[in-house]
Structure 1
């Protein structure tokens, strides 16, 4: 994953949002979509992606199915009903944080 520590706190939100926009995705497809949408600015590694996917699944936000594609097993992830509700919650949290950060970053320097 990109070395920017800000990404670590948003990875679950990114995954949930991507799965909301598309019915189901597999891991490599998620990494490529993030790369495409961020124009190469965010590169997810398997070491970052799969623990996040497993955590979201354990929390009941994702369900998985396995299909054989070209002779290989491919694990697809999709939102559960609970996961669909979590997307809304995570997006509200992210937007509130972005708004607060903008306020802090736009502070004018004190005139002495």
Structure 2
């Protein structure tokens, strides 16, 4: 797949990806999120730090994420987790995106016939 296209598509749904991963894993740090996306997509999708951290900060400002600093191997690591509102929003956004993708798939599967 074209990584440029994947990048644009992922950017539009990045908040849903973050919320879904945190719903599944409870808490994660930024680099861990990027690596999990690579792992789940067999390297087809990659999240850059330049896209990830603004999205995390926005979700935090919306009250959907909380943070916790932990020292790991002598280094401070910022973990993100969902708030109660974040859990509700994760369910809502995943549901919305799933419905959108189903509708998009229906449109893409329509057999178009050339005009005569």
Scaled by the length of structure 1, what TM-score is found?
0.94
Q: Which runs of 5+ in 2 are unaligned?
A: none
Distance 1:61 1:51 in 2: 14
Counterpart Cα distance in 1 of 2:77 and 2:29: 7
Q: Please say if 1:77 is aligned against 2:80.
A: yes
Comparing 46-55 and 100-109, the one that deviates more: 100-109
Match of 1:65 among 63, 68, 73: 68
Q: Deviations over 1:39-88 (max 9, x none)?
A: 00011110010000000000000000001111111000000000000011
1:84 partner SS: helix
- In the alignment, what sits opposite 2:41? 38
Asked if 1:19 is matched to 2:29, the reply is no
Unpaired runs of at least 5, structure 1: none
Q: Which residue in the other structure is 2:4 paired with?
A: 3
TM-score by length of 2: 0.91
Residue-pair matches, total: 111
* Pairing 1:49–2:52 present: yes
Deviation at residue 30 of structure 1 after TM alignment:
0.5
Runs of 4+ off more than 2 Å? none
How far residue 110 of structure 1 moved from its aligned partner, in angstroms, is: 2.8
